[in-house]
Amino acid sequence: MSTSTAPGGVRDIDLLLALFERPAAQRVYTESVTQAEHAMQCARLAEAAHADDALIAAALLHDIGHLLTIEETEMATPPGTDRHHEAVGAAYLGRWFHSEVTRPVALHVAAKRYLCGTDARYGANLSPASVHSLQLQGGPMSRQQCNAFRSARGWVSAIELRCWDDKAKRPGATTLDFERYRPLLVGLLSRRR
């Protein structure tokens, strides 16, 4: 789509969807899928669970912080550094979307730490990549931290997102149809304004 005559909101979505065409999105996210495949699988899982539009958008965009930080910071930070992609992504998305989109994004790492602190089976089933990043992100939450997490707005949505996130790592062909989500994203933009 040409962006020269498009309304501002549509241009914003062009910018956003273009991130999934950057080299970073084609890089391997886990042992089995690329960043773009992971995002698409996560959104599809949210849709299948009949999540609302804001949560589907959060699922699609939850790791956008990785796409924003990989290229810019990997040369500047040593390997194994936590780049706080959840905070970077939520802040970036906050210029366009309301908190029902950004909050689950901001909390999806904390949700993993919460689930590890409350459910031993959850931790045992994490992918090796998630186990590695968990250590960088602070490890399982303590009981006190879990209590505090449950008082955060949007924590339940963050748990839902986290569970799709963990499943969205299935090898095999994934149709990368990001345009499918354009109307949903545009609709959420209009609610922000």
Binding site for Fe ion (CB under 5 A): 63, 165
Q: Residue 65 CB: number of other CB atoms within 10 A?
A: 23
CA 36, CA 21: separation in Å to the nearest integer? 8
Based on CB atoms, which residue is closest to Fe ion, 12 or 63? 63
**Shortest CB 74 distance to Fe ion, Å:** 18
DSSP string across 126-149: S-HHHHHHHHHTT-SPPHHHHHHH
Question: d(Cα 28, Cα 36) in Å, to the nearest integer?
Answer: 9
Distance, first Cα to last Cα, the chain: 23
Report the nearest approach of Fe ion to the CB of residue 169 (Å).
8
CB nearer to Fe ion: pick between 54 and 105: 105
Please, what is the minimum distance in Å from the beta carbon of residue 164 to Fe ion? 9
Structure tokens that stand for 147 in this block:
């209590």
E strands, the chain, in order: none
CB closer to Fe ion out of 35 and 96:
35
Closer Cβ to Fe ion, 63 or 160, answer by number: 63
Q: Are 72 and 85 in contact (CB under 8 A)?
A: no
Q: How far is the CB of 165 from Fe ion (least distance, A)?
A: 4
Q: Which residue is nearest to Fe ion (CB)?
A: 165
